[in-house]
């Protein structure tokens, strides 16, 4: 089974605050922005929608209104949350070079690689599974998580403290993925310092 991850530099407070905001203008703006993608998405899930799953539009409305949610379709609301992120931070997508079309178990391998270099603050499992608004139902499909700004700064310091020997001991593909992760940390730290705003990393995996 092939998996993939999309990663963004985001202002986490802004992203979180959109959930349950009841912001009608935001609903309308995202609806216009996502119309073409929603058409394809709803075609793909047409059988499930026929059985009662929310359309992309209805899922977005539920997430921004703070409910109601149908617990059976958590992945649809998580997809709507990703739509919000893609809209608000469309210009801040980050490289997923080592996280596009990967095998099951790859994230665990990269997580171990980070740990072997002493990068314990920025845990890959948190980026994939933790940090999304608790308001959203659980999802067995699309997952989401995040690293806040402090996590990225600490992880970057730990990377700089690692030695060339430690890095050389990793499998080249794992090291490449670790460098990809470190690039995310460096990018949000640089963006935060440049704009005097706190940015973190938001990721969507499935």
List pLDDT tens digits, range 190-199.
999 999 999 9
Q: What is the pLDDT of residue 176?
A: 98
Residue with tokens 């948190």: 126
Question: Among all chains, which residue has been given the structure tokens 């990068």?
Answer: 119
Range with the lowest mean pLDDT among 98-107, 151-160, 183-192? 98-107
- 94 contact partners, CB below 8 Å, separation of at least 6: 7, 8, 9, 183, 184, 187, 201
Helix, strand or coil, per DSSP, at residue 141: coil
Q: How many angstroms separate the CA atoms of 202 and 127, rounded?
A: 7
pLDDT for residue 131: 63
Band of the pLDDT at 180, cuts 50, 70, 90? very high
- Residue 135: phi and psi, rounded to 5, are -60, -30
Q: Which residue has the tokens 């470190």?
A: 182
* Interval 79-138: pLDDT, tens: 999 999 999 999 999 999 999 988 889 999 999 999 999 999 999 988 887 767 778 888
- Is the separation of the CB atoms in 88 and 30 below 8 Å? no
What local confidence, expressed as pLDDT, does residue 63 receive? Answer: 97
Taking the C-alpha atoms of residue 3 and residue 183, their distance in angstroms, rounded to an integer, is 21
The CA distance from 127 to 99, in Å, is: 13
- In this predicted structure, what is the pLDDT of residue 134? 75
d(CA 113, CA 106): 11
Q: What are 79's two structure tokens?
A: 């997809």
How is 76-95 classified by DSSP, letter by letter? HHHHHHHHHHHHHTGGGEE-
* Rounded Cα distance, 81 and 184, in Å: 20
Q: CA 201, CA 148: separation in Å to the nearest integer? A: 6
Q: Which two tokens stand for residue 190?
A: 């640089």
Relative orientation angle of helices 106-116 and 172-195, to the nearest 10 degrees: 70
């Amino acid at each position: 089974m092939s998996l993939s991850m999309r990663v963004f530099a985001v202002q986490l407070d802004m992203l979180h605050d959109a959930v349950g905001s009841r912001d009608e203008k935001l609903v309308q703006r995202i609806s216009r922005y996502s119309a073409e993608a929603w058409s394809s998405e709803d075609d793909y899930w047409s059988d499930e929608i026929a059985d009662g799953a929310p359309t992309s539009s209805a899922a977005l409305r539920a997430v921004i209104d703070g409910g109601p949610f149908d617990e059976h379709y958590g992945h649809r609301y998580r997809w709507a949350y990703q739509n919000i992120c893609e809209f608000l931070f469309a210009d801040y997508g980050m490289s997923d070079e080592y996280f596009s079309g990967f095998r099951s178990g790859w994230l665990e391998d990269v997580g171990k690689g980070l740990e072997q270099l002493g990068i314990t603050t920025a845990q890959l499992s948190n980026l994939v599974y933790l940090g999304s608004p608790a308001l959203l139902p659980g999802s067995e499909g699309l997952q989401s998580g995040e690293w806040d700004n402090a996590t990225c700064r600490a992880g970057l310091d730990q990377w700089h403290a690692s030695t060339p020997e430690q890095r050389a001991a990793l499998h080249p593909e794992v090291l490449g993925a670790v460098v990809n992760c470190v690039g995310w940390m460096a990018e949000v730290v640089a963006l935060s310092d440049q704009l005097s705003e706190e940015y973190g990393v938001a990721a969507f995996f499935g």
